[in-house]
Amino acid sequence: MSDRPKEKERNRVVSVRDSEKVQAKLSSWKSKLLSPAGRVILIQSVTSAIPNYYMQISALPSKVCLELDKLNRNFLWGSTAEKKKMHMVGWKKVCRPKKEGGLGLSCAKPRNVALLAKFNWRLLQEKDSPWVRTILAKYFPNGFVNSQTMVRRSGSSNWRGLKLGFDVFRAGLRWVINNGQRVSFWHDRWIGDAPLRSLVHGPLSLSESLLRVCDVVGSGSVWNLAGLSLLLPTPVVEAIRATYVCSLSPKEDCLAWDSNKGDFSSKLALQLANKHPIGLNSNLSDPSWIWKVDTSPRIRFFLWQCYHDSVPVRDTLLACGLNIPHGCPRCSCPFESLSHTLRDCPDSFSIWNDLSIPTSCSQSFTFPLLDWISFNCSSSKAHDKSHIAWQTVFSFGLWTIWLRRNLLAFNSSPILPDPIRNILSFAAEFFCLMGDKANSKSASSIAVKWMPPTLGRAKLNTDGSSLGNPGIAGGGGVIRDSCGSWLGALELHITHLDIEMDSLVSVDLVLSNSVANVFLRSIVDDCRCMMEKFASVTLKHIYREANACADLLAKEGCSQLLPFISFTAPPASVLECLAFDCSNSVCTRMIKC
């Protein structure tokens, strides 16, 4: 009999070792003074990363995932085997994204599923690798992405990992339209968050059910939705019309991840792995202001606790069932809520009165607690005496009041005899250490003007415009000769062309060797094909002041009903701008040195 352990037992042993590594790493930090904000960073960068290597290829046992969560949870709140501490905010809330009121941490199980979704993504991207060909031949004989069900119920640990991450992988995929021949108009996800079939109630006719995207694209790659028997919502129609279809360099449609550039996004995969997200409590405001306050990370964590009403004041501790004295330790008030501690207690009230509150913020002291904190922490005003940002002074004021309360409650004597001096000195120290966030680079003025092309060449100035984001978009362009005269339509048999535009991103995309953004490849490839038709062509970036005519035409394009309009003579709206360019007039532009 072989002495080789069974695979399941071997996987469990490896998983337990990961758990032991995390525990050993946490134990080495026990003696060090770490704020909760520092512990969050260590959990994100170290302890969560330890099991990631194994998580990328295999599914961890649920017991091990729970143990990893427990270790991180206890470390965050300072609990040890010898001394337990209260966890003031639930772990599920902690693991929400910051925009939903959490700390951006993640539970072990969803993170494992998200990483296994990336394992599936590698199968899609690395099709020529020997290991990929082996797995596809063994487990996906009917095709990888099109497999509706897994053909094997048992297999290696890698196979079980693929199965666990497959649903999240499929949920994050969408089609990128190039020629539209491979994509079903109704049943594939290529526009929006779901297939268009989800917008239709009832059955589709056979002909419409078999409709492909290319079937609704007319000549010139213009969308022709008039043949549809069903009316789609206006936002969907606008999104379809904004989708570019290849006309000069037809390529096959391809699958991409539903991210900004089409690459795999662990953040999106983690959101999909959390099948039932809790979401932001409708009773709470947007918490994004917490992470924008100019203050120390320790105080941001305190503000986050205030947001969840989880600061351990006596009312909160009594609600948790602790047997502690009632009332405020600083005054004779029979209760101690968070609002009383930070603002309404006579001791706190006197501190705020002596701190010289900006006039525009004084009215906020009658707001509800969370509105009061967020209003002052979002203020752009400066403190009257120190000229430091009021949000910085205010946040250090909250923190100093909380420290002062704790010293009075546990030591029965104030160690901070001059709170105003402490608040301003702490805020000034933070300001000096962090420096002014505003860009300190000096600016200088330069002269900008439209330059005509050399004799025998034509110049195309082009620009785009959008009425909001997202919003109605349009484009415009003007072709002129060496005298600055309008040349009209494109069919002028021009062989030597200079192209100018004020979008540096667009210029870099066209001139680069490759396009990282899969959603832009088709339109960039068509631009390159058009440029290859000229005997000589140049493309460069210019400042907006030298592209004023194209800018005006682009804005007019947003209000046009037809997909394309060609002017043989300049429209009245650009005559003044054309005359300005022809007169060799100069505009002044400020640039950073």
Dmax over CA atoms of the chain, in Å, equals 95
User: Considering only 101-105, 247-251, 275-279, which range has the smallest mean pLDDT?
Assistant: 275-279
The mean pLDDT value for 20-45 works out to 77
Report the alpha-carbon distance of residue 158 to residue 58 in Å, rounded. Answer: 5
Q: Is the pLDDT of residue 338 over 90?
A: yes
Q: Is the pLDDT of residue 36 over 80?
A: yes
Kindly indicate the confidence band of residue 212, based on its pLDDT and cuts at 50, 70 and 90.
very high
Kindly indicate the confidence band of residue 179, based on its pLDDT and cuts at 50, 70 and 90.
confident
The mean pLDDT value for 62-80 works out to 90
pLDDT at 440 (0 to 100)? 53
Between the alpha carbon of residue 208 and those of residues 184, 235, 362, the distances in Å are: 10, 21, 63
Kindly indicate the confidence band of residue 31, based on its pLDDT and cuts at 50, 70 and 90.
very low
Q: Is the pLDDT of residue 32 over 90?
A: no
pLDDT at 244 (0 to 100)? 87
Of 279, 264, 270, nearest to 111 (Cα)? Answer: 270
Kindly indicate the confidence band of residue 441, based on its pLDDT and cuts at 50, 70 and 90.
low
The mean pLDDT value for 315-330 works out to 90
Kindly list the structural domains of the chain, giving each domain's residue range(s) and its CATH number in brackets, ordered by start: 7-114 (no CATH), 119-273 (no CATH), 287-434 (no CATH), 447-592 (3.30.420.10)
pLDDT at 280 (0 to 100)? 47
pLDDT at 15 (0 to 100)? 55
Q: What is the mean pLDDT of the chain?
A: 86
The mean pLDDT value for 9-13 works out to 50
Report the alpha-carbon distance of residue 538 to residue 211 in Å, rounded. Answer: 41
% of the chain surpassing 90 pLDDT: 46
Q: Is the pLDDT of residue 23 over 80?
A: no
Report the alpha-carbon distance of residue 240 to residue 225 in Å, rounded. Answer: 9
% of the chain surpassing 70 pLDDT: 89
User: Considering only 1-10, 110-119, 355-364, 409-418, which range has the smallest mean pLDDT?
Assistant: 1-10
Kindly indicate the confidence band of residue 435, based on its pLDDT and cuts at 50, 70 and 90.
low
The mean pLDDT value for 543-549 works out to 93
Residue labelled with tokens 């995969």: 269
Q: Is the pLDDT of residue 153 over 80?
A: no
DSSP summary character for residue 166: H
Highest mean pLDDT among 31-40, 394-403, 443-452, 568-577: 394-403
Q: Is the pLDDT of residue 356 over 60?
A: yes
Kindly indicate the confidence band of residue 273, based on its pLDDT and cuts at 50, 70 and 90.
very high
Q: Is the pLDDT of residue 279 over 50?
A: no
pLDDT at 437 (0 to 100)? 54
The mean pLDDT value for 187-207 works out to 90
The whole model's pTM is what? Answer: 0.83
pLDDT at 5 (0 to 100)? 45
Report the alpha-carbon distance of residue 393 to residue 298 in Å, rounded. Answer: 15
User: Considering only 26-40, 182-196, 497-511, which range has the smallest mean pLDDT?
Assistant: 26-40
First to last CA, the chain: 76
* Cis amide prior to 130 (ω within 30 degrees): no
